[in-house]
Amino acid sequence: MTQNYGFLIDQSKCIGCHACSTACKSENQVPLGVYRTWVKYVETGSFPDVRRRFQVTRCNHCANPPCVRICPVSAMYQRADGIVEFDPSICIGCKSCMQACPYDSIYLDPETNTAAKCHFCAHRLDVGLEPACVVVCPEHAILAGDLNDPASEIARTLASAPATVRKPEQGTAPKLFYINGNDWSLHPSAAQTHDSFMWADKVTEQNASPYARGGVALPVLTANSGASIRTPQQQGYPLNGPIQFGGRVAEHMVQTAYTAQHKINWHWELPSYLVTKNIAAAQDQLALGITFVSRHQKYRGRTLHALESRLDVQSL
């Protein structure tokens, strides 16, 4: 039976300790400022009836991964066991995968300028070990295993408890499942996101750019046609409409207290790569065409010469 690995997270057990985040950074030597797995804090309700919920977020290792399809150099690829892996040695840093991922799970490594993300600790899995986050979780809130193996703990748990996924409407078939998940945590548009969190500022152009801090207007990024680059689109709304608490829309009573964000920008690498690739492809086709015509002419000349020689012999 073909292996098909996935994650299962029980949100009722998560205590927001960030052990998974630190273990992931240590195991994979993730630089400061970026994360492969992180814990999102969402606060719900109004005083005195308030509650803080935790959600572990990472690559969903989708069965239909858009990052793999869009990568122009196949640096993102899907293994036979279902793990979505990446090869930094051939990545050109074009950020196409970052744009395609609906889960904000891919970041650009500040040291290598190549894409990186959770890779299921594939190097550990290949030698029979579990991912680092699974090992260190003190509440056993994270499960990882073969979804196709009915004897595995993750398969048995999924068979006995209802689970949900993030953004099913995107058609990516994610394999990161949540037990006791809630809409105001799973759906990014259900909660307000303020300009600052408990320990860090929200990553925006206004608070990250020196232009804004100096009072200088930010340049607007536009395409040659004049259209705005990457116009924000609303996505992730529940299929049955806005979430409500006692008749009030959830976004008025829910706020994201902490999460990790990765800046997503189109840079010159992608269009320049596509242009040079097309030029190289055209040159190859032109060279192939010239070679074909040249060989055809030589063959035609030899054929005519042989025919003329045969006619001369017959005339004699």
Whole-number Å distance between alpha carbons of 211 and 219 = 9
Closest Cα to residue 142, out of 126, 115, 120, 125? 120
Q: How confident is the model at residue 264 (pLDDT cuts 50, 70, 90)?
A: low
Q: How confident is the model at residue 129 (pLDDT cuts 50, 70, 90)?
A: very high
Q: How many CB atoms lie within 10 A of CB 285?
A: 10
Query: Model-level pTM?
Result: 0.66
Q: How confident is the model at residue 43 (pLDDT cuts 50, 70, 90)?
A: confident
Strands 244-245 and 142-146: unpaired
Distances (CA, A) of 272 to 43, 74, 190: 44, 17, 38
The proportion of the chain whose per-residue pLDDT surpasses 90, expressed as a percent, equals 41
Q: How confident is the model at residue 212 (pLDDT cuts 50, 70, 90)?
A: very low
User: Considering only 63-77, 127-141, 161-175, 243-257, which range has the smallest mean pLDDT?
Assistant: 243-257
Q: What pLDDT, on the 0 to 100 scale, is given for residue 206?
A: 42
Q: What angle do CA 7, 262, 90 make, to 5 degrees?
A: 80
Whole-number Å distance between alpha carbons of 141 and 12 = 8
57 pLDDT above the threshold of 80? yes
Residues 213-223 have pLDDT tens digits of: 444 444 454 54
Overall residue count recorded for the chain in this entry: 316
User: Considering only 107-111, 179-183, 201-205, 299-303, which range has the smallest mean pLDDT?
Assistant: 201-205
Q: What pLDDT, on the 0 to 100 scale, is given for residue 156?
A: 95
Percentages helix, strand, coil for the chain, rounded to the nearest 5?
Answer: 35, 20, 45
- Decide: helix, strand or coil at residue 122: helix
User: Considering only 4-18, 137-151, 226-240, which range has the smallest mean pLDDT?
Assistant: 226-240
Whole-number Å distance between alpha carbons of 168 and 163 = 12
> What does the block give as tokens for 310?
């045969």
